[in-house]
Amino acid sequence: MLHIKHYSKGYHGQPPVLEIPELHLPHGLYWLQGENGSGKTTLLKSLAGLVPFTGSVSVARTDQQRQPVQYRRLVSYAEAEPVFPGFATGAELLQFYSRTKGGIQVKTKELLQNLGMATWVGNKTSTYSSGMLKKLSLLLAFVGEPQLILLDEPLTTLDAAASKTILEHILLIHRQGASFIITSHQPLDAQVLPYTLLHIKSANLHQAAAHA
């Protein structure tokens, strides 16, 4: 599913913060762990195509550099601290994503209802609380038919009910064929989400055992 080769990312001439000589991850649900500042977000942003890096990354044999448009149809990303234009409404952003990513699935519409977003999604994002911004960001990550969904701290700022809904939705979408890489400082329950551990240590990514 995900293939990384000769990946290296540094900032402004500094030594690389993260290097991955070669890594192949099959379809799965991965919990990416690492200390603060170890490069988890940098890796997710690189995989999402948000920041430049050296090396190559491909998902389902679609290379990020050579097939940038197709690649971005396959990979979605939700930020840890999402930022949106304050004058735009959630519904407008949803429409923007839907147009580019190829439509909203029925399950995503259900998620919108289940997260209780229907009443406020038409309001400007400047009026949203951090939890509401998070819900919108997560919902947008499910738009289209991504094969790899990158979620950076998906549970922070969410209430217990919303966290449960999101975890159930992740499992549902995973069973339908999508893979996930999730960073989370909150513990993930292996009984709910059968994850495989990925660990960033000393600027390198290591794969650990699967938990089910």
Helix (H) or strand (E) holding 68, with range, is: helix 68-74
Looking at beta carbons only, is 58 or 196 nearer to another protein? Answer: 58
Note whether 96 binds another protein by CB under 8 A.
Answer: yes
What residues from 21 to 50 belong to the interface with another protein (CB under 8 A)?
Answer: 48-50
What residues from 1 to 20 belong to the interface with another protein (CB under 8 A)?
Answer: 11-12
Look-up of token digits 């993260």: 18
The only residue of 19, 59, 101, 184 in contact with another protein, by rule CB under 8 A? 101
Q: How is residue 21 written in tokens?
A: 């000589």
Query: CA quadruple 126, 132, 130, 18: dihedral positive or negative?
Result: negative
The only residue of 21, 24, 66, 100 in contact with another protein, by rule CB under 8 A? 100
Note whether 68 binds another protein by CB under 8 A.
Answer: yes
Note whether 79 binds another protein by CB under 8 A.
Answer: yes
> How near is the Cβ of 189 to another protein at its closest, in Å?
28
Q: How is residue 120 written in tokens?
A: 């406020």
Phi then psi dihedrals of residue 104, to 5 deg: -100, 130
What residues from 152 to 191 belong to the interface with another protein (CB under 8 A)?
Answer: none
What residues from 116 to 155 belong to the interface with another protein (CB under 8 A)?
Answer: 124, 140
Give 3-state DSSP helix, strand, coil % of the chain, rounded to 5.
30, 30, 40
Q: How is residue 23 written in tokens?
A: 């890594």
CA–CA distance, 105 with 97 (Å, rounded to integer): 12
> How near is the Cβ of 211 to another protein at its closest, in Å?
28
- 92 Cβ contact partners less than 8 Å away, ≥ 6 residues apart: none
> Which listed range, 78-86, 154-162, 169-177, 192-200, lies at the site for another protein (CB under 8 A)?
78-86
Residues of the shown chain interacting with another protein in the complex, contacts defined by CB under 8 A? 11-12, 48-52, 68-73, 75-77, 79, 82-88, 92-93, 95-97, 99-102, 124, 140
